[in-house]
Structure formats: structure tokens, C-alpha cells
A and B are shown apart, each in its own frame.
Chain A
């Protein structure tokens, strides 16, 4: 009896292993069927997931904010300085914008439009060495489509990779499979923003002879299919010249804290 049960379990396991390998292969090759099933499953679990996420949210916020208390005074002083600088720049920017709009009208060019945004809530997070994704509580019914950009208060967070009816999956910019066109704001040089397995974000394909400085701001480029240009991504944290490589290794510090995402906006246009 015990032997027959053991035999049955081995057979079941072999069948499951073969089935899983087949499913992994189909999923790896990017089947539309698996994407549709994924979207359906997301929708089924969305209501309960949203409730449980809200239930645990205070505890999550408590744990993730413990680290914030270290060096709080120093951070406050730095932000005060930055705020004063930004206030000054804001006034200048408004003048430039008015001037720009007037010139565009004279030249018959289209005025720069505002982005159409849909506010969404994060209801799940999933990350390991190979992926960093979040789940949001809005899908195709709310106008969210695959490929749309998702941003927080301070900058770009990621891109929608799969949209169900009432929920969607967003690949974060720190995901190793993420790759987005970007520009250095000051020099207008183009590069690619890519995630990595250790969770850091890098600006790739900037050659050794390009001038780039720590603190330079990185924005999205205009060459993305869905992502509009000039969405803030982050600033340069470190620059390293790798011997033998034509490119520099530039690490980016995202403006948005990717570990603490709650309410976000999907860029719909």
C-alpha cells in the first residue's frame, strides 16, 4: 500500500515537473493566452487583495519608516535649502513657460499639454532578484493600458506590463528586465535606464568622454512609445569609469522611494 502511494506521488511529481516546464516555456516565449489568464487572475484577487493591503498598511508604513529617523535633522536642513532653491527656480520657470507658449503661438507650433493622469492605489508588491513589480487597483476599465507610465509625487515609478479589467501589474524601474529611454536633463544626452538584480538603477550607454556630474537630473526621453518626454526619473548618485569599457557606469537615485509606494498616477496620454 505504502509502495503504491509512493509510486503515485512520484508519478504525480514527474507529471507536474513536465507540465511546469511546458508552462514556463510558453510563458517565456510570451504567449497571449498566459497574459490573458494572468489578467483574469489579477481581477479575481483584486478586491480581497485591496482590503488586506489596507489592513496591513499601517504596520507596513511603521516598519518602512523606522530607517527614516536616522539622520532626520540633517535631511531636514538639506530639504530646507533645496526648497528655497526650487522656489526661486519655480518663479523663473513660469516666466520661461509663458514666453515659450507665446513663441510657440507665433511660430504656429502646438502648445505643450498637461498629462492626463489616473490616480491608482498600490495593492500588492512582488520582488525577487529577477523582478520588481507592483499591482495597482485599476485596469482597462479605468483606462489603464499596457505600456503606460506610472509615476508618484516625485517621479517615474515604472511601466504597466499587464492590465486586467480592474487591476494591473507595473514593472518598476529597478526591475532587471526594465529598460527605458532617458535623457540627462542638462546635456540632453540619450541613454537607457535599466534595473539590476541588486535593486540599483543604472543609466547605460553614456560614453566615457561625455560630461556628466553627480546630482545631474535624468528624465524620460521622447522616444518611448507611450511614455511622454521629460518625466523626472532620478538624479546621478555615482559615476564610475570601467577600464576597457567604452561606457561609464552611472548609478541613478530615483526621486520616488520605490519601497514605499501607496498612491500613484498612471499617465494615460
Chain B
């Protein structure tokens, strides 16, 4: 059952990735988009633990890079890092509250943006600071709105593991 759930959750991540490419990219505003893959990765990491989160974040990021990325490995890096950060924040004692989930999404979104900008900068890409600033401001809001819409559905569909989703971390 455990293995079955883990496979199911990975398939959910794949589905999120395809929906991201086919649908969510069209809902862009101010060049900022909703990151469904990140939102689902946070949920899956909270349910299955850090190890699973890091590995599935790496694999799903790598697939995203291979389908649509210009630099292969950058999404794999940030999603694996996200799972690790979530694990650390939960171990630091986050209790189940809506505000805790908001904080988690805020923290990983900001980390993603800063890490991507830094890696791109190291690889000689231009950094447009006003655009980075705008994205740092808007993207967490977009992702928190998406989280508020998606997590109730995730909770209902994974009722049997609800307690772990509510930040009683299991690792």
C-alpha cells in the first residue's frame, strides 16, 4: 500500500507537470506564473517525507528540464532543494495551521527564484533586477493562491493520509 501510494504520488507530480506546461503557462500575469509542480511537490513531501521529496523533486525537475528547459538540471536542483527546505522547516517545529503552509510556500518560492537567478548569473545570463524584484514580490502570492485552491482537493483525495499532510511530519 505504501509503495502504491508513493507511485501514485509520483504520477500525480507527472500530471501536475503536464498540466503546468499545457495550461498554467497561459495564465501568466506580469510574466509571473503559477507553479503547480512546486505546490504538488510540497504536498507530496509533507506526506511522504524528506527522502521521497528530494528524490521525486530531482526526477520531476529533470523531466521538466528535458521537456521544456533550456538549461537541463536547473529545475531538478531547485525542486530537490525545496524538498530539503520543507523538511528542515517542518523539523524546526511548524505546527498545522493555514499560516504554516502559507509560510512554507512563501519560503520555497523565494528560495527558488533566488537560486535560479544565482545559477543563471553564474552561467553568464543577464539578470534584470527590477524583474527579479517583481517576481519575488508576486510569485509567492500567485503560488499561495494556487495552494489555497489545490490543497483542499489534495486533502480530500488523500483522506487516508490526512494527518501526515497536516504537518505531523513522519520522517
A interface residues (Cβ-Cβ under 8 A, vs B): 2, 5, 8-9, 12-13, 16-17, 19-24, 26-28, 34, 37-38, 41-42, 45, 48-49, 52-53, 56, 59-60, 63-64, 123-131, 133, 135, 169, 176-177, 197-199, 259
The 8 Å CB contact of B21, one of A17, A49, A63, is A49
Q: In terms of DSSP, what is the predominant structure of the interface of chain A?
A: helix
Interface string of B70-93 (1 = CB under 8 A from A): 111110110011001001000000
**21 sampled A-B residue pairs with Cβ under 8 A:** A2-B171, A5-B50, A5-B51, A9-B51, A12-B51, A16-B58, A17-B81, A23-B62, A24-B74, A24-B119, A27-B65, A27-B72, A28-B123, A34-B72, A56-B22, A64-B26, A126-B21, A126-B67, A127-B31, A131-B70, A133-B68
Q: A9-B51, A41-B66 are in contact. Are A16 and B26 (CB under 8 A)?
A: no
Chain B residues near A125: list those with CB within 8 A: 21-22, 25-26
Chain B residues near A199: list those with CB within 8 A: 31
- B46 sits at the interface (CB 8 A): no
Verify A197–B73 contact, CB threshold 8 A: no
Tell me the bound Cα distance from A24 to B123 in angstroms.
9
Verify A129–B27 contact, CB threshold 8 A: no
Tell me the bound Cα distance from A12 to B80 in angstroms.
10
Give, as a whole number of angstroms, the nearest-CB distance from A50 to chain B. Answer: 9
Additional A-B contacts beyond A127-B33, A259-B26 (7; CB < 8 A): A8-B51, A9-B50, A12-B55, A22-B73, A27-B72, A45-B18, A125-B25
Tell me the bound Cα distance from A266 to B54 in angstroms.
40
The 8 Å CB contact of A13, one of B18, B26, B63, B80, is B80
Interface string of B17-57 (1 = CB under 8 A from A): 01101110111100101000000000000000011001100
Chain A residues near B69: list those with CB within 8 A: 126, 131
Chain B residues near A128: list those with CB within 8 A: 31, 33, 116
Tell me the bound Cα distance from A26 to B14 in angstroms.
25
- B131 sits at the interface (CB 8 A): yes
Verify B21–A135 contact, CB threshold 8 A: yes
Chain B residues near A130: list those with CB within 8 A: 70, 120, 125
Tell me the bound Cα distance from A176 to B55 in angstroms.
31
Give, as a whole number of angstroms, the nearest-CB distance from A159 to chain B. Answer: 14
Give, as a whole number of angstroms, the nearest-CB distance from A18 to chain B. Answer: 10
Size of the B side of the interface (Cβ < 8 Å), in residues, is 45
Q: A24-B71, A129-B128, A197-B126 are in contact. Are A52 and B76 (CB under 8 A)?
A: no
Tell me the bound Cα distance from A38 to B66 in angstroms.
5
Interface string of B87-125 (1 = CB under 8 A from A): 100000000000000000000000000001001100101
Chain A residues near B128: list those with CB within 8 A: 129, 197-198
Q: Please name the residue on chain B nearest to A54 by beta carbon.
A: B22
Chain B residues near A59: list those with CB within 8 A: 23
Verify B27–A63 contact, CB threshold 8 A: yes
Tell me the bound Cα distance from A176 to B65 in angstroms.
18
Verify A13–B54 contact, CB threshold 8 A: yes
The 5 A-B pairs at the shortest CB distance, nearest first, are namely: A23-B73, A126-B68, A20-B77, A27-B72, A41-B66
Verify A135–B68 contact, CB threshold 8 A: yes
Give, as a whole number of angstroms, the nearest-CB distance from B55 to chain A. Answer: 7
Give, as a whole number of angstroms, the nearest-CB distance from B68 to chain A. Answer: 4
Give, as a whole number of angstroms, the nearest-CB distance from A212 to chain B. Answer: 25
Verify B67–A129 contact, CB threshold 8 A: no
The 8 Å CB contact of B71, one of A8, A28, A135, is A28
Verify A20–B68 contact, CB threshold 8 A: no
The 8 Å CB contact of A48, one of B18, B66, B116, is B18
Q: A169-B68, A197-B128, A198-B128 are in contact. Are A20 and B23 (CB under 8 A)?
A: no
B69, B123, B128, most chain A CB atoms within 10 A: B69
Tell me the bound Cα distance from A171 to B122 in angstroms.
23
Give, as a whole number of angstroms, the nearest-CB distance from B160 to chain A. Answer: 23
